[in-house]
Amino acid sequence: MQPGLQHQCSLILLRGLPGSGKSTLAAVLSENGKYPVLSIDSYFTHVHTGEYNFDHRKNHLAYTQCEKQTKEKMEMGCPKILVDNTFTMEWEMEPYFKLAAQYNYRIFVITVENRHGGKNIHNVSRDQMKKMADKYQVKLMP
């Protein structure tokens, strides 16, 4: 560690379109499960079978659960927390920015691109993917 730098916990938001590899990268960055990976996908994934069953009517509940779990991990002082969601628009990340500020976490936002030809496992149509890509917001400068 460099002189003058204090150890600070980190919140890493992984964003990208379905199939881009967010979950795969999150698993790598979690160092084999050493650090938690949170996602709205977990709300729709059966705990025992691993079966994914998305219901857009419950999407707001999934987002609420993910934010709540992130807050709980921060309250526990978890040194690194990963959240992998599409986060196509800036406002979707705002609750995490607020949590990071409240609990003094450094925040990193990583956009994952589908350069490997990955397939989305959520049956998101090509038209819906195009709509998501068209509204995708990137902030390169403050």
Question: 27-31 contacts: CB < 8 A, separation 24 or more?
Answer: 29/80, 29/82, 30/80, 30/82
pLDDT of residue 6: 57
pLDDT of residue 84: 96
pLDDT digits (tens, 9 = 90+) for 21-71: 998 999 999 999 999 999 998 898 888 888 888 888 998 999 999 999 999
43 sits in the region (left: phi over 0; alpha: psi -120 to 50; else beta) called alpha
pLDDT of residue 72: 98
- Percentage of the chain with pLDDT > 70? 96
Q: How far is CA 49 from the centre of its chain?
A: 22
Q: Could you tell me the CATH superfamily of domain 10-135?
A: P-loop containing nucleotide triphosphate hydrolases (3.40.50.300)
Model confidence at 134, pLDDT cuts 50, 70, 90, reads: confident
For all residues of the chain together, what is the average pLDDT? Answer: 89
By the 8 A CB rule, do 120 and 17 touch? yes
